[in-house]
Amino acid sequence: MNSLVSKKYTKALVSAIGIKGASKALDTLYLISNCFSDAKFSAIVNSPTVSKSKKESLILSVVEIKDKKIINFIKILNQKNRLSEIPLICDELKRYINSSNNEYELIVYSSFKLDSKDLEHIKKEMGKRLGVSLYATEKPMDTEGVRLFVDGISVETSFLKNGFSNSLRNYILKAF
């Protein structure tokens, strides 16, 4: 889940550049966001001893940015000490663009590796029931079972071995 700060900056960016410009901005911000995985880059951007002008020039030198609005957006982030929010803003912008296209992420948490056909079937059926287009991401889970979560519309369902066992036990005990 992204912070409120990243959501506010994303909303401001989209209102300034529109949905068509958001796709171009996403590409640019994604390149900058990838740089945060480098420890040295991240240390420089987050360092209180490095001047704001050096941070800004570092970010702007990473990618050739042609759009003045995106350059101004990065300058505003720098002025407000929010450059570290760029990866979160990037995620939030991607989520915004996908939701405007009625496309959402289905996250499948499971304790075992799902077959690609099963994953495709789950994605297709959930998308049909919700009336949206889904793209699936599979993530491991420690608890035995399967949990489905559609990010963006907060739909969640799960089938956990322990939960099923407890429900079955309670049902049997109530019967007697």
CA distance 137 to 14: 26
Residue 30 confidence (pLDDT): 92
* 23 has a pLDDT exceeding 70: yes
The reported pLDDT for the residue numbered 173 is 75
64 close to 74: Cβ distance less than 8 angstroms = no
Q: Percent of the chain at pLDDT above 90?
A: 40
Percentage of the chain lying above the pLDDT 70 cut: 95
pLDDT in tens, 116-136: 888 888 889 888 888 888 888
pLDDT of residue 110: 86
Listed in sequence order, the DSSP H helices in the chain are: 4-35, 39-46, 52-62, 68-79, 86-100, 116-130, 161-175
Q: Would you say residue 89 has pLDDT above 70?
A: yes
Integer CA distances (angstroms), 18 to 5, 58, 90, 94, 142, in order: 19, 26, 15, 14, 41
Instruction: Supply φ then ψ for residue 62, to 5 degrees.
Output: -65, -45
pLDDT band, residue 147 (cuts 50/70/90): confident
Note the pLDDT tens digit of each residue in 46-87.
999 999 999 999 998 888 888 899 999 999 999 999 999 999
pLDDT band of 164, cuts 50, 70, 90: low
Residue 1 has pLDDT above 70, yes or no: no
Q: What is the pLDDT of residue 62?
A: 85
Q: Domains in the chain and their CATH numbers?
A: 4-98 (1.10.520.20), 102-175 (3.30.2320)
Amino acid at 45: V
Other C-beta atoms lying within 10 Å of the C-beta of residue 104 = 21
* Cα 150 to Cα 83: distance, rounded to the nearest angstrom: 29
Which is more confidently placed, 171 or 20? 20
Four-CA torsion 33, 39, 45, 48, nearest 10 degrees? 150
pLDDT of amino acid 172: 76
DSSP tag of 50 = S
Q: What is the CA angle 135-24-37, rounded to 5?
A: 70
What's the whole-number average pLDDT of the chain? Answer: 86
